[in-house]
Amino acid sequence: MCVCIYICVCVYIYVCVYIYMCVYIYVYIYICVYICIYIYMCIYMCICIYIYICGHTQLDVREEPVLFPPGFQPFTVVQCQPPAVVTALTLHSEWKLVAFGTSHGFGVYDYLQKKSVLVKCTLNPSDQLAMEGPLSRVKSIKKSLRQSFRRIRRSRVSLRKHQISSTIQEANARLEAELAEMELAPVQRKIEARSSDDSFTGLIRTLYFADTFLSDSSHNSPSLWAGTNGGCVFAYILFLPPLERRADDAVTAQPAKEIQLMHRAPVVGIVVLDGQGAPLSEPLEMAHDLARSPDMHGSHHLLVISEEQFKVFTLPKVSTKMKLKVTAVDGSRVRRVGVAWFGSSRTEGYGESGLVFLTNQGDVHVLSLPHVKIQVRHPCIRREDVSGIASCVFTKQGHGFYLISPSEFERFSLSTRYLVEPRCLVEAPIHSVASNQHKPMPKVTSSTHRYVAARHVMEHALIS
């Protein structure tokens, strides 16, 4: 009897130990596989960042002649050093200048004299990532893994806090339901300032040429404005020679102002308002009498558009005048922005300038200028359609375009005067030339021709 009990106990212990070892080995293998997959993903992300930012080499310029078909012809090539993706681009046709920005800085090129005017590096000198190589913006794998584990740890802590605060949220929901009928000021969220140690704070998001009062209030001068991903705005005065000596004398640039936003949100747009509060017109439109000249008698204002708020500064002192918070009110962020002219559908000569912007929620807002107040809000794009939001562009007539597929775009209008309608028709040929070489042409009447051509009509949306 004792021997049987002893054998049963031994078998039970052996089975327990075996099961424990199997479970332990299974968990150990699972953890090892998970760590290997995680390390592989981190390495893959580092490689992608390296290729996207500064991993590719510069383009090779052909020395032999290159034939181009009739049309637009390239006449100069500008190569950024170190090679990087061009993130912002603007051109001034009257000054013969083009400005471009990358993740390392921005520059100005004179395409009349074919030489550079300004080169500005926006890398943070205290950033350790910038010291890993010559102008390198790539994170090391060791630091990337460390930051990834910290993010996982913070996500676990936030998950626990979320579970604890679920009852508080339910109580807040009941309180909001009780106060729904009362007119209260919107509760503003607390927006934390972004870290200045981010490796992408120097990335250029927007560039803007303007003839405004930057040095003093009595003399206007050409200027260049650049907004970065870290909430910094650089302003440079451009000294242009007289028109008769423009082809010989060099264009020079001098730093004038520098604005740092408190929350370091990316600057997605810059607009200068004239004395009447209207945005400055395009130089090409003013040269052909397609737009009115700006009011240079009153004081100008600078409108800086970040992902979180709109802020108006006075010029040339650059002091804050007013601001409109977006993220703190409804939690959305500004993705695309544009200036539009909304003409009246009843009165021919009346219209107002407005600022149109698209948020990451897919909503389109129209702001009044220069008071910066939201006039209308329309849901436009699904918030899940990231490519559509990223590809959206606005025209000066209040129209918008965005991609609904890689080969299709959708058009919408915010103006009552300029509606969405086809402006012209392009008739496709009835039969191709290749198919008609060995086949006789059938007799086609005028009515048949209109019917067949109507089937091959392609709508052409004129932007202008």
**Which residue matches tokens 């003839």?**
211
pLDDT score, position 431: 57
- Could you tell me the strand order of the sheet in which 232-239 lies? 204-212, 221-228, 232-239, 252-260
Dihedral (Cα; 107, 108, 111, 115), 10-degree rounding: -70
**φ, ψ of residue 448 in degrees (nearest 5):** -65, -40
Tens digit of pLDDT per residue, the chain (464 long)? 666 776 776 776 777 777 777 777 777 777 877 787 778 777 777 666 665 555 567 778 788 888 888 888 888 889 988 888 899 999 998 999 999 999 899 999 999 999 999 999 998 765 544 444 444 444 455 556 566 666 666 666 566 655 666 666 677 676 666 555 444 445 555 555 566 555 578 899 999 999 999 988 888 999 999 999 999 999 999 999 999 999 999 999 999 999 999 888 999 999 999 988 899 988 888 888 878 888 888 889 999 999 999 999 999 899 999 999 998 888 899 999 999 989 888 887 788 899 999 999 999 999 999 899 999 999 999 999 999 999 999 999 899 999 999 889 999 999 888 887 777 777 777 654 444 444 444 444 444 444 334 333 333 333 33
Q: How far is CA 2 from CA 7, 11, 16, in A?
A: 9, 14, 21
The answer to whether the bond into 370 is cis (omega within 30° of 0) is yes
Query: For position 343, what pLDDT does the model report?
Result: 85
Contact 229, 203 (CB under 8 A): yes
**Nearest residue to 389 (alpha-carbon basis) of 374, 378, 399, 401:** 401
CB-facing half-sphere around the CA of 214: CA atoms within 13 A: 22
Per-residue tokens: 445 = 């009447």
CA distance 357 to 54: 31
Q: Which domains does the chain have, with CATH numbers?
A: 17-57+134-162 (no CATH), 76-127+197-325 (2.130.10.10), 326-417 (no CATH), 425-459 (no CATH)
Q: How far are the Cα atoms of 276, 322, 355 from residue 296, in angstroms, in the given order?
A: 9, 21, 21
From CA 153, how far away is CA 118, in angstroms rounded? 44
